[in-house]
Amino acid sequence: MAPTAASSSTEHHIDMLRKYIEYHCWITKAKQKGRFFRISAGGNFSKLRSELKKRGFIEQIYLPSESVFYTMPNSILLEEAQRGNEYERALVAKIIGKRPPDFVWVTRSPCYKPLSNISLLNKIYITGWNFGVKNDVLKYIKKIRETDKKQSILKYPRSYNLSEPDTLNAFVADFRMTAAIGLVTFLYDQKENMNDWFTHDINNTETIKIFGLDCAIHIILMHIKYADGHLNKDDLARCCHFSEKQWNELLDVHMHVIKYKKKIYASNELRDDYVLRINMIAPDIPKYFKKRKHDGIHNIWMMKPCYSCQGSGIILTDNEKHILNWVNTHKGRYVIQKYIERKFDLRQYYLITMDNEYVRFWSHWLCTCKLASEEFSFDDYNEQKHITNTTVQRRYKRENTENLPYHHMWSIHTLIDHFEKMGRPDVYDKKIYPTIKEVLRMISKVAVQNIELKVGRFELLGCDWLITDDYSTYLLEINRCPSLFYYTPVSEYVIGKIFEDLIKVVVDFNDDRKASTGGFECIFKMDMPDSPKAQAARKAQQLKMELQQARKMIDEVLNEILNDVITSVKVKIPEEVDKAEVDKDAAALFDPYKHKLLSAF
């Protein structure tokens, strides 16, 4: 018998009812477990979504009133709903209603306060020094170097906050000293043909006067004498007090010799004298100026806006006048760092989480090696060659070459293969990454004092590191809003893995302390203020203080009793007996009983 229209309609209604009940049960189960999430950020967060959904989370979208789905009846939404489509998302949003999500992912810190009641939020609140701001990082570095016994592990390019007059003056002194050392080092490295950098041909227009070289040698020699104790600080300042004209001559000879390859004008006799002096002091430069080991010779500095990110506003220059003019004509805050000339850059990830027990700091082994879009050289300082920030390099396209992939990025596995070709296959695991973890541990110990400790808060940070040609590791900066876009095949893999492991830490490990945390490794933790352990410690400390007060009170009472006893006995002591000795003997007799009583506390 053929089905009638009425029976078909009934079956359809039953199917829709069954479908609605399935959705309702699915949503109710997620509600009971606190499994609603919302991503309030642009970009591709497909991996984050998929990892949350694997764990029973349901995405709770914001449904604006102007949306066509907002006024659409639930029956139509239910009819058209399929797993993951827009109708289902709108239907779920309507069923959930105004209930706040349990997990929220945002991109900006100002969202922190309005979302204070969310159970899991990917932003922490900085109450003091902000390690994501470039001038505050300088405070962290200074604090660590003053307090941490392992501070020698921490390497950070020499940096100055240009908005502060004292540090601006310190930068100028450093800039000039760097020029002096760079010039002498360059000439010494040419020692087999150093004579060729001097000429006595008065008609040669491609020359520079020698006076600046004299200043360079003198200032280096005076600092060596100071380090050996032959000069005090005042003597050093007096011996290195040059006029602005003399300083400019030093900077000119440095730039013209190293950058423009000009020769120094000098007679043969004068040349021989300078060559001798350079050969005498240059070998001692590595010994007396250890912190300048990776400076190079070009005296290049990188100026950065304090509150910028993604490579915005960076200026690379070797010109002192340009730097000072910029500071005087721009109102923004800037820091300036010595540019490490022979290096490559890594982006690595750092996670902070807070639960009922601890605030934890995590480091991830995985990283990307960021490359420039043009072959490295000092012919010019354009960003294509020197600024490896991913957002910057995306502006430039190039074909694949043997050394530079088109997407300007190496995976950690490619980097390790490169190390193997260099004869150092284990240098990342045995030297570079252990240093990264130790430096982040130092940062964490200071950072925890500047963070609002609130359960359910976490944040993923991007750390930039410089690796020099001898595999020394420098911290460059910490980014609170790291780019998490899939720019390249490498970043797609790395960001995907970071999201996968982040959810393992934030969700799985939070539910079960035996759960895997993937590539994230806890490098530092501290008790949360309201954790059971912290509460027990506070109670123990309070009890200890109360017992100390009780002992003090009992001690005072016992002393009063002893004094009363001695006073009552003294009246019967003959005049010829020393009463002070009697006091002393009585106290000695009484002490064992007093000690026995107090030991009970």
Contact 234, 302 (CB under 8 A): no
Contact indicator for 479, 132 with CB cutoff of 8 Å: yes
What mean pLDDT do residues 442-448 have?
93
Q: 459 with 569, same domain?
A: no
Statement: residue 340 has pLDDT above 80: yes
How many Cα atoms within 13 Å fall on the side-chain side of residue 131?
Answer: 31
pTM: 0.82
Two tokens at 443?
């940062």
177 lies in the same domain as 82: no
Residue 164 pLDDT: 84
Per-residue model confidence as pLDDT tens digits over 151-196: 888 999 999 998 888 889 999 999 999 999 999 999 999 888 899 9
SS (H, E, C) 306-347: CCCCCCCCCEEECCHHHHHHHHHHCCCCEEEEECCCCEEEEE
Give the H or E element holding residue 118. Answer: none
Residue 246 lies in a domain: yes
Structure confidence by residue, pLDDT tens digits, 542-568: 777 777 777 777 777 667 666 666 566
pLDDT of residue 542: 72
CA distance to 187, 218, 231, 241, per residue, from 224 (Å): 19, 10, 9, 16
Q: Mean per-residue pLDDT for 209-235? A: 93
* Position 198 pLDDT exceeds 80: yes
Coil, strand or helix: which one is 210?
coil
- Please report the pLDDT score of residue 402 as a whole number: 66
Mean pLDDT, all residues of the chain: 85
Instruction: Report the distance separating Cα 439 and Cα 151, nearest Å.
Output: 8
Query: Do 426 and 505 belong together in one domain?
Result: yes
If asked whether residues 30 and 54 sit together in one domain, one would say: yes
Per-residue pLDDT band for 4 (boundaries 50, 70, 90) equals low
CB contact at 8 A, 311 and 387: yes
Residue that terminates a domain, selected from 258, 277, 292: 292
**Dihedral pair phi/psi, residue 525, rounded to 5°:** -150, 155
Residue 322 maps to a domain: no
**Higher per-residue confidence, 408 vs 383:** 408
Mean pLDDT computed over 522-547: 76
Q: How many residues does the chain have?
A: 601
Q: Which helix (H) or strand (E) holds 198?
A: strand 198-199
Q: Residues 101-119: pLDDT tens digits?
A: 999 999 877 677 788 889 9
555/506 same-domain check: no
CA 577 – CA 19 distance, rounded (Å): 106
More confident residue, 398 or 462: 462
Q: Is the domain of 522 the same as that of 546?
A: no
Q: Which residues contact 556 (CB under 8 A, 6 or more apart)?
A: none
C-alpha to C-alpha distance for 538 and 548, rounded to whole angstroms: 15
Please tell me whether residues 518 and 558 are part of one structural domain.
no
- The domain tally of the chain equals 4
Last residue of a domain, one of 265, 292, 319: 292
- The predicted structure's pLDDT at residue 351: 97
Identify whether 297 is part of a domain: no
Residues 353 and 212 in one domain: no
> Would you say residue 126 lies in a domain?
no
Cα gap 62→46, rounded to integer Å? 17
Average pLDDT over residues 61-84: 86
Domain endpoint, select from 94, 121, 148: 121
CA 435 centroid distance within chain:
13
Query: Considering only 288-302, 431-445, 544-558, 568-582, which range has the smallest mean pLDDT?
Result: 568-582
Domain holding 582, by residue range, is 542-600
In a domain, 325, yes or no: no
Q: Could you tell me the CA-to-CA distances from 136 to 132, 159, 415, 451, 458 in Å, in that order?
A: 8, 11, 31, 14, 20
Distance CA 490, CA 200 (A): 56
Residue bearing the bigger pLDDT, 139 or 539: 139
pLDDT at 331 over 90: no
Give percent of the chain above pLDDT 70. 83
What is the pLDDT at residue 201? 79
Q: Give the three-state DSSP class for 208.
A: strand
CB 263 within 8 A of CB 204: yes
Q: Is residue 140 situated within a structural domain?
A: no
Confidence class for position 386, pLDDT limits 50, 70, 90: low
The confidence score (pLDDT) of residue 521 equals: 97
**Residue 319 domain flag:** no
| Residue reference for tokens 């089905």 | 3
The answer to whether 519 and 364 are in contact (CB under 8 A) is: yes
Output the six-digit token pair for 104: 């929220």
Per residue in 570-596, pLDDT (tens digit) is 555 555 556 566 566 666 656 665 565
**387, 505: one domain:** yes
- pLDDT band of residue 601 (cuts 50, 70, 90) is low
The predicted model gives 70-74 an average pLDDT of 87
pLDDT at 398: 64
Residue 2 in contact with residue 64, Cβ under 8 Å? no
Do both 461 and 555 map to the same domain? no
DSSP 284: G
The reply to whether 270 falls in a domain is yes
On the question of pLDDT at 308 being above 60, the answer is yes
Instruction: Assess whether 435 and 415 both reside in one domain.
Output: yes
**426 shares its domain with 469:** yes
Contact 302, 326 (CB under 8 A): no
> What distance lies between CA 525 and its chain's CA centroid?
16
pLDDT score for 534 = 62
